[in-house]
Amino acid sequence: MKNIELFKNTTSKIKYLIKSFGLGILALQLFGCSSNNNITELEDQIENPFDIHLNFDSLNGWVNASQNMNGVVNYTTSDGLLNIFTRANTWDRPKIKTLETFTNGKYSWRVFVPEMGVGDMASIGVFLYYDDSHELDFEVGYGKSIVRQKLNAKVDDLLLYTNSQGNPSKSEIFKIKRNQWYTLEIELLIVNNKYQAIWYINNIELYRLNLEYGESIPFYIFCSLENLTFMGDHIPTQNNNALFDYVEFRR
């Protein structure tokens, strides 16, 4: 695993100017003896100064955002993975969020979805949050039996919710298999000066939604596992957990 790469805004701008200056010099050196393809290839090799890649060798760049924990910390890091867990017969809501906020770009979470307790009100969450009416997320859990029946969910299926919590409110439900790694992504494009949100799973687009707000709303990035009533039929009867490999933001 590489160390956490988190570029502060000021550092990023300086780095970007330095790289741009260097690119200009090299372009002049190449002019007249190389084709435009050489310059294009060189540009492709220069990293975007806005990109971040957060591994979980440590929790640098993150802060505790848990609820209902009464001081208990229900997450650990080991071997480059973040393990978040909830306890049986509780309303645990452990979660972490980034220190920085972000706007338009693509957000990615690499998550292992385990076999969760049958009927447990437990939800793996990856989401972008500004306030309760400006939140975009994925929620994964066993789900309520009535919803599972409508979707004809099989024994090894879990339910994946994609949500906009407001402006506008919208929710879609999909089935995914348990005990697998997934790459979950939310992309925010700027369309007519407002965000257009696109949800992906393993590079497959699920759907897109035009939002009623734009870049004036910046988001914190969250990883969570919460015991929430909408995701099952009863308070969890077992401990549940989720593993996170990395989080990325690319502009």
Mean pLDDT of 118-143: 98
* Tokens representing residue 65 in the block: 């955002």
Neighbours of 95 (CB within 10 A): 22
Domain ranges of the chain: 9-45, 52-250
CA distance 228 to 95: 13
Is 2.60.120.200 the CATH classification of the domain at 52-250?
yes
- In the prediction, which pLDDT does 49 show? 61
Q: Three-state secondary structure along 79-144?
A: CCEEEEEECCCCCCECEEEECCCECCEEEEEEEEECCCCCCECCEEEEEEEEECCEEEEEEEECCC
- Please provide the size of the chain in residues: 251
* Tokens representing residue 135 in the block: 């939140």
Residues 24-39: tens digit of each pLDDT: 433 334 344 444 444 4
Residues 241/205/186/56 CA torsion (nearest 10 deg): 40
- The set of residues, in sequence order, having a beta carbon less than 8 Å from that of 130 and lying 6+ positions away, is 217, 218, 219, 220
CA distance 196 to 198: 7
What confidence tier does 135 reach under pLDDT thresholds 50, 70, 90? very high
Mean pLDDT of 226-231: 97
Q: At residue 150, what are phi and psi to the nearest 5 degrees? A: -65, -35
- CB-CB contact of 92 with 241 (8 Å): no
Residues 58-107: tens digit of each pLDDT: 999 999 999 999 999 999 999 999 999 999 999 999 999 999 999 999 99
Angle ∠(61,92,151) on CA atoms, nearest 5: 100
pTM: 0.81
3-state SS, residue 146: helix
What confidence tier does 10 reach under pLDDT thresholds 50, 70, 90? very low
